Chain A
Amino acid sequence: MSGIVPATQTYRRSAIFMDTLVSVQAISDQPEALFDERAVSAFGWFQHVEQICSRFDPESELSRLCARTGEPVSVSPLLYEAVRFALEVARLSDGAFDPTLGHTLARRGFNRHYITGQTVDTPNAPADTPDYRDVRLDPAASTITLLKPLLLDLGAVAKGLAIDLASKELEGFAHSVVEAGGDLRARGRNAANEPWRVGIRHPRHEDALIETLHISDMAVCTSGDYERRNPTGGSHHLIDPQRGVSVDTVASVTVIAPSAMVADALATAAFILGPTRGLPFLAAQGVDGLLFSSALERYATRGLTRYMQ
């Protein structure tokens, strides 16, 4: 590619959704008004996904679904697809990734914030703890049936889906990035006509980078043990469904995939699988990834080098 990016302007808009800062950026020679229009549509998707998939909003479609057990519930295409995708990742990861963890998360958060205010006393999972196999889909009827009382958590899927949908709104621009809280999908090239440079946050130093990747037309998502920590710092939200405790062997996992939905979900799954199982899992899924153990040992898929220069 010998040409120069014909764009002269970098447009960027930001807003807060899903408790995080969402930024939409494009490099274009088209009028700013056109970008603004697309940015509004892009933010609209974040709003829409959040309204439907929020576990914290009792009025969300997700919450209404989780209020019913043992009967098919007709759901919107968005919720159906999000759940279907989450279940598929759960199946592929043999349950390491499990969207039925909502109760566990809620219970822990509740204990932490309202009762003890201390490190969670992790109860052993009851024998009848639900898992992803307790969710049934009916593609013909577009219904979801919960076989047991359970609380779906689509946190690892919804944000990625919103990023992908927002990115689709920007298809008219050759060069764009949608970024939400450190997860992103990049298209084209940056203002210097190079692949977008995406730094990976150092897991132990907030303001340092541990690696830099060169990304074009791919999504990059990172799951870190530094996110959503409880006040004592003793545990985080990346919980092993089978053990019911926070994973303590991994500091962060970064996944590069064609969609943010895939990257986000697989980063979470690989985090829970840990260093020795997580990387082979990513390779088996055909995506590239970078994992730092809690001792900061570096693990990478072989294909990662293509994103390094």
Chain B
Amino acid sequence: MPLPPQPRKRPGKKITGGLVALSSAAIVTVYAAGYTQTQSAAAQFDTPIATASVPPTARIATATVAATRTPFQPIQIGSTINGPAPTTAPLSRTTPTPASISTPTSTPKAASAAGAYRDGSYVGLGRSRHGDIEVTVVVQGGKITAAKVSQCLTRYPCSMISALPGQVVARQSAKVDFVSGATDSSTAFREAVANALAKGS
């Protein structure tokens, strides 16, 4: 096999230590300094799930942003699809939210202008390497009040999955724990949300 010329010694050892040391210092610094910030960020987890007043396409594009403001909470796999919006996300609370997300007090008019959705719960399917994702989007008062993965993968509320069967790895080889380079985008999630919203618009 072709090998590029390599230095006999590793003159970079010291430099290396430099880069590795720099990253170690950075991680420690950020970890220490970021603690209080994380706490304040944690406060945002209590932000109610977005009551979106943006068009579906824009909303989907910002799904990640919106989702990261939602509470961390375990999701019941296969929870009732037509169930109510999560009570753990009190809609009366408001905290600073990203520009793409309106507060719960925003008028329905905004939603109407963007094309309001009909109230109800809508289920959409997306496909990923991990298997199908089923997303349930709850619309109340013409706005999206909740969107979550109801099967296979949880997301929105940035969530926890009790079991992610096999993950990428088992699909490819039972002999490895993880696969490096197996990039997985959240395309499936967005696709599922889009599919769900298509039914409600």
A interface residues, Cβ below 8 angstroms from B:
12-21, 23, 36, 39-41, 43-45, 47-48, 50-51, 54, 57-59, 76-78, 81-82, 84-85, 88-89, 92, 161, 164-165, 168, 177, 179, 181-184, 186, 190, 196-201, 203, 206-209, 212-213, 220-222, 224, 226-227, 252, 254, 257-259, 261-262, 266, 275-280, 283-287, 297-302
How many A-B pairs have beta carbons closer than 8 Å: the answer is: 242
Cα A197 to Cα B175 in complex, Å, equals 7
Q: A237 CB to closest chain B CB, in angstroms? A: 11
A57–B65 contact, CB under 8 A?
A: yes
B20–A262 contact, CB under 8 A?
A: yes
Task: For the complex, count residues of B whose C-beta is within 8 A of A.
Answer: 70
In the complex, which residues of chain A have a beta carbon less than 8 angstroms from the beta carbon of B186? 16, 19-21
**B195 sits at the interface (CB 8 A):** no
Cα A256 to Cα B1 in complex, Å, equals 21
In the complex, which residues of chain A have a beta carbon less than 8 angstroms from the beta carbon of B114? none
A17–B181 contact, CB under 8 A?
A: no
A198–B155 contact, CB under 8 A?
A: no
Cα A222 to Cα B177 in complex, Å, equals 16
B175–A212 contact, CB under 8 A?
A: yes
B180–A200 contact, CB under 8 A?
A: yes
Q: Which of B23-31, B81-89, B104-112, B136-144 contacts A (4 or more CB under 8 A)?
A: B23-31
B160–A280 contact, CB under 8 A?
A: no
A20–B23 contact, CB under 8 A?
A: no
A252–B7 contact, CB under 8 A?
A: no
Cα A222 to Cα B167 in complex, Å, equals 18
In the complex, which residues of chain A have a beta carbon less than 8 angstroms from the beta carbon of B184? 20-21, 181-182
**B95 sits at the interface (CB 8 A):** no
B169–A297 contact, CB under 8 A?
A: no
B178–A284 contact, CB under 8 A?
A: no
A14–B161 contact, CB under 8 A?
A: yes
In the complex, which residues of chain B have a beta carbon less than 8 angstroms from the beta carbon of A76? 33-34, 37
Asked, given contacts A13-B160, A39-B160, A43-B158, whether A207 binds B172 with beta carbons under 8 Å apart, the answer is yes
Cα A16 to Cα B24 in complex, Å, equals 25
B181–A59 contact, CB under 8 A?
A: no
